[in-house]
Amino acid sequence: MTTQEFWNKVKSPEYKVTQPRLAFADVLVQNQDVMLSAESLYEKTKTIFPKTNLSTIYRNLESLERLNMIYKVTTDDGLNLYKLKCASNEHHHHIICTKCGKVLDIHFCPFDTFSELAGKAGFTITEHRLELYGLCEDCRK
Amino acid sequence: MTTQEFWNKVKSPEYKVTQPRLAFADVLVQNQDVMLSAESLYEKTKTIFPKTNLSTIYRNLESLERLNMIYKVTTDDGLNLYKLKCASNEHHHHIICTKCGKVLDIHFCPFDTFSELAGKAGFTITEHRLELYGLCEDCRK
DNA sequence: ATGAGTGCAAAACCTTTGCACTACC
DNA sequence: GGTAGTGCAAAGGTTTTGCACTCAT
């Protein structure tokens, strides 16, 4: 997704174009394939628009989450990581590099098998979270 | 797992038997198939040993995590839930009732498929987290 | 007796919120 | 001009930590 495409998607009377948002959008677009913490998104945004405030980052993450534009995970040690949602509308999962945060899309989902197994035990699955962690080629070296 | 079995497993010069721990162990054993927050584990422990302190709960969760006795998940809204690890040594996953926390073991893992797909893209999976959420039979009613 | 475990209170951590001010449309 | 967005500082919730005291072995 380009910055242009990003703005085409979100711009509306309810989502105005402001200076912090312009900077933040750049950061998100530039890091589409990496999961970053609010803090590092903040740092990166500040290099573009130095006056940006951390709470603005959180507020914009929330706004974009409402627009279904943000993918978020919580790591084992309780840190939240964010990225722009993948362009692909197809349901898929991710493998996240534990060192650099790089993300690989995995277009395979075993949901049906799980659904069947759960159903036999009276459970109805409403949500599933599948996150794979590992090392990408670069970080393994 | 019975309380007896629990203590057989953990008792050592490094994990002494104390009153708060006796109470906490009871709570964990009684709720083996439910995921609970630190706060509710605390409340439940207090009914057995009222002097128990919240920090003791956290410290004991940490000790037991080091002993590989605790299974922990983070919910979408950032709450940490805990339970005693399943007795089964076999690798498996869970479906968690979003209403009552009840847990169902799912003895099926699509790891091999993921591993293969990831390998093709140069990723090495070191960890995977698969959590299914839904409603158990009782809570659906 | 000795060190692990504990209670209490304070701090730390990340995230959210209130308020007055700014700047988009 | 009106409202959404912002910066700042303060508060929020959960988890961790320092310290002195207690208790298990």
Contacts of residue B126 in chain A, CB cutoff 8 Å? 98, 133-135
Q: B139 or A51: whose pLDDT is higher?
A: A51
Percentage of chain A beyond pLDDT 90 is 52
* CA atoms of A118 and A111, how far apart (whole Å): 10
How do residues B60-69 score in pLDDT, each as one tens digit? 999 999 999 9
Nearest nt to the CA of A80 via C1' is: C14
Q: Give the HSE-up count for residue A4: Cα atoms under 13 Å, Cβ half-sphere.
A: 0
This prediction's pTM? 0.87
pLDDT grade for A105, boundaries at 50, 70 and 90: confident
pLDDT grade for B89, boundaries at 50, 70 and 90: confident
Closest CA to A76 of B54, B131, B31, B51: B131
Whether residue B122 and residue A137 make contact (CB cut-off 8 A), yes or no, is: yes
Domains assigned to chain B: 3-84 (1.10.10.10), 93-140 (3.30.1490.190)
**Within 7 Å: CB of A47 and strand D?**
no
How do residues B16-31 score in pLDDT, each as one tens digit? 999 999 999 999 999 9
Which candidate from B74, B106, B123 shows the least CB-CB separation from A114?
B106
Q: B87 or A22: whose pLDDT is higher?
A: A22
